[in-house]
Structure 1
């Protein structure tokens, strides 16, 4: 055997050559991207910014904020609604406080004569009108004595001229009317049904 024969490895096994061909080395991983140079805020290593996410991960998006113009519009709209509601409540209170109190003069006159529970005396319109019916010759007609009607009229300070007209009213005269103070009165008379008097409170300046 020559020297060349001593160094010759000899024929290789075909199976060994096939196994070596199948086991190929893995390709190397791609290198990480180099860090960008700049301020600490840009590189993400400064104290104010959190650490940069690992390679291959996407950071969460920042919270969506309204632009300053839309925020101002929302604030102005809310303030306008509050101011409108406050003004409406204030006007409602002024209107309620400015309304006059209902008169109780008719109610007080009926109470003073003690006829508030008698048949033929009826208050209406929340105490702003009074209807009085006296007894007539017809037994089906019920009412109070004419003296009770006179008592209520005197409590309302009826003028003597109006009282005289009532006392002299006939059935043929139809319905009569008069006004004094803050009252408007109308009346009629018939022997069968008696005297009917209707009095209404009149506010100052009302026709």
Structure 2
């Protein structure tokens, strides 16, 4: 084996100059195929990983570009469902405001009448000549406190005289109208609006 020189080994692998051009090209292609078949084996895993990475990247890119539209539709559907649920909850809670205020103040239901699907409360306050009864001032003011009446509205109500006629005030989603006469008391109607 040592008798064989580098030139002889090289001569076996490379085409000789004396061969026709077509044969020389075939030998070069054959040698390239042999090299391609032998050398890439150690590079197969990196090559496969690279190709898989590119393919995964393309699929993710397509998924992401299509994803936002699908995600937006899904988010819109969830928001609509939540909105409907929130609206129903808000309506249910709104309908509890007036009855809860009257109940918390232990107001007699004959003089604190909830009506209009729980959206209005008529308060009959006891006046000097109200022989049939009515809510005490403490019970009436308790109801207004539970409803969160602003101090400016409470002052307006307390300063109303029989000469002022019917008065109206509003806060949050509550509107109250009232009249006052010493003999009949401060009769009022509280309504949930908007």
Q: TM-score, normalised on structure 2? A: 0.51
Matches within 5 A, 1:39-188: 100=88, 101-102=91-92, 103=94, 104-115=96-107, 117-188=108-179
Deviation at 1:119, TM superposition (A): 2.9
Deviations 1:55-85 (A, max 9, x none): xxxxxxxxxxxxxxxxxxxxxxxxxxxxxxx
CA contact (8 A) 1:134 1:194 kept: yes
Give distance in 2, aligned partners of 1:176 and 1:156: 18
Summarize the Cα distance change of 1:141–1:194 in structure 2 as closer, same or farther, 3 Å threshold. Answer: farther
Deviation at 1:139, TM superposition (A): 4.2
Deviations 1:19-50 (A, max 9, x none): xxxxxxxxxxxxxxxxxxxxxxxxxxxxxxxx
Summarize the Cα distance change of 1:195–1:141 in structure 2 as closer, same or farther, 3 Å threshold. Answer: farther
CA RMSD of aligned residues (A): 1.8
Deviation at 1:140, TM superposition (A): 3.0
* Higher alpha-carbon Rg: 1
Summarize the Cα distance change of 1:139–1:107 in structure 2 as closer, same or farther, 3 Å threshold. Answer: closer
5+ unaligned residues in a row in structure 2: which ranges? 1-80
Matches within 5 A, 1:23-34: none
